[in-house]
Amino acid sequence: MFSYCTDPSQLEGLTWLSCYLTTGKHAGLYVSVFTVLLLLAVTAPTALVFGFAGASAARSRIAPLRWLGKSYTAIVRGVPDIAFFLFFVIALDQGFEWLRHQVKCPDWTDPIRQGNDFVVCDAAKLPLSTAPQWIHESYAFVLAVLTFAIVFGAFAANVLYGGMRAVPRAQLETAEAYGMTPRQTFWRILVPQMWIYALPGLSNLWMVLIKATPLLFLLGIEDIVYWARELGGTKNAKFTDYPHGDWRIWYFLFLLVFYLAFTRVSEIVLERLTVRLSRGQATAAGEKLRKEVQA
Amino acid sequence: MKKLILGTAALALTAGMAFADTVRMGTEGAYAPWNFVNDAGEIDGFERELGDELCKRAGLTCEWVKNDWDSIIPNLVSGNYDTIIAGMSITDERDEVIDFTQPYTPPDPSAYVALSADVDLEGGVVTAQANTIQAAFIAEKGWTLVEFATPEETVAAVRNGEADAVLADKSFLDTVVGDGLVMLERMEAIGGGVGMGLRESDGELRGKFDAAIQSMKDDGSLNELIAKWEVSSQW
């Protein structure tokens, strides 16, 4: 990185550290921080969509839709996250490849399952084995987002379902009295008011999601915990210009600070969101806000 | 005529694409000197150099992929990469699930590293990386075994007293001795040499790599690489 970094063994103190912290390997750590943040930024809204769809389905008047919504939350919430991550992602990936295989290689005669092997034609590989590594990594990332969204969507569905049921019945009755259709009642009265009841549960989920990101490594994505372990491990002078002992404790300390800071920021944001959503609500917090405005 | 030329060109192009095979090489990247991540963040080591040379000789384009040791076989079998080149010893147990090329390093004894030379292995706690021949060996002996997911953690466990000794490939332990850690005299003859792992259905690719390894054995370049990285005894 810096011109003086050519022979780190001659350097000391901060100069050495500035070289050490800017190696290509450390860039991996910094990139992974963004990977984690990006994952959260994409997964949270996606999971919310899954949750909203699940909750809406679960309270639908159409029976098969209701069964679908209820079994989604029941099954996904019941399976341990790790089992889900290990099994589901491989199954999902193979499912995609199987579908592509059926479309792209109809003439293929060999069996797809050969003993332990899962063999599809080259054109059906996802991504193609000729694709550059970054496409493979993006694909793995998309699979990760999808898996996280399905898992956390199931929990969110239950939270939102509860939120929908917590909206005072009088509100919906009034809407009906005004002649609103069930659809209008749902979108104009129920949905805007349910968030305040769902927020405590959703904020819990968000916190759990932040802490669940190290599961990424199970999906073959190099997250910050992987890099912290890799960078912190003992480094022999034979294989690196920056030999050091077991420094994992310092890297994990960095992770601790990172996660604590991140959850603290989340708490502050969620706090503000609660105040904002309480406005005009028939809850104790909403009542308090009304009094403050009057005073 | 124009259509014909275009058609031929398209055919030639697609055929060309089919020939320009990319072989994805899966490795762990945490087992110096065999394979590790260097300062630049790239995979480096004996197997990196060996793999690149083998691909050159076999006329293949190779791409390196890092994968956790624990899931390295399942991900090969489900097609996320095409080979395992990660210091994997050829064993009957693994051979049932995947296929191996001929070994590129001869079978070498495994060694122990401990804090002192007079450690009691039978009565003590011995550590090894999970899913390795060493772990299987200790389990078979009936000694107390503690497994870890990465080689680094097994050595750390000996340093902080969680385990009395670590059993691993001698070439790996050579890189960690010193600074309080000593290698025991006792060695264990386990394993059948290290080879590349491939899917059982990939006979053609295996043939290519087999031939490339043979040619490197014949012209002595494999021995040179082994000597350079000090991974094992020579052929």
Distance of CA A253 to the CA centre of its chain: 23
Helix (H) or strand (E) holding A101: helix A81-104
How far apart (Å, rounded) are the C-alpha atoms in residues B183 and B177? 7
pLDDT in tens, A238-252: 888 888 888 889 999
Residue B5 inside a domain? The answer is: no
Contact B84, B73 (CB under 8 A): yes
Contact B49, B229 (CB under 8 A): yes
Q: Which of B115, B114, B119 lies closest to B166 in space, CA to CA? A: B114
Q: How many domains does chain B contain in total?
A: 2
Residue B2 pLDDT grade (very low, low, confident, very high; cuts 50, 70, 90): low
Q: What is the CATH number of the domain that holds B223?
A: 3.40.190.10
Better-scored residue on pLDDT, A154 or B179? A154
How far apart (Å, rounded) are the C-alpha atoms in residues A208 and A254? 19
How far apart (Å, rounded) are the C-alpha atoms in residues B134 and B126? 10
**Sole residue written with tokens 């209820």:** A70
Mean pLDDT throughout B28-56?
Answer: 92
Mean pLDDT throughout B69-90?
Answer: 89
Residue B16 inside a domain? The answer is: no
Residue B209 pLDDT grade (very low, low, confident, very high; cuts 50, 70, 90): very high
Distance from CA of B61 to the nearest CA of A (A): 9
Same domain, residue pair B96 and B35: yes
Domains of chain A: 35-225+233-294 (1.10.3720.10)
Is the predicted pLDDT of residue A266 greater than 90, yes or no? yes
Nearest residue, CB atoms, A220 vs list B23, B67, B152: B67
Q: Which of residues B158, B173, B188 is at a domain's end?
A: B188
* A69 Cβ contact list (under 8 Å, min separation 6): A53, A54, A55, A56, A57, A58, A59, A60, A157
Q: Which residues are registered as beta bridge partners of A7?
A: none
Same domain, residue pair B94 and B30: yes
Contact A98, A120 (CB under 8 A): yes
What is the structure's pLDDT at B9? 46
Same domain, residue pair B127 and B183: yes
Residue B153 inside a domain? The answer is: yes
Nearest residue, CB atoms, B39 vs list A23, A86, A94: A23
Whole domain around residue B170: which residue ranges? 110-188
pLDDT in tens, A65-106: 999 999 999 999 898 888 888 788 888 888 888 888 888 888
Residue of B nearest to A110 (CA): B201
Same domain, residue pair B200 and B183: no
Instruction: Determine, for residues A116 and B77 on separate chains, whether the beta-carbon distance falls below 8 Å.
Output: yes
Same domain, residue pair B115 and B83: no
Residue B6 inside a domain? The answer is: no
Instruction: Determine, for residues B175 and A238 on separate chains, whether the beta-carbon distance falls below 8 Å.
Output: yes
Q: Which of A114, A117, A143 to mutate to test the interface with B (most CBs of B within 10 A)?
A: A117
- Which residues in B34-175 belong to E strands, given as ranges? 35-37, 43-44, 61-66, 83-84, 99-100, 110-114, 125-129, 144-148, 165-169
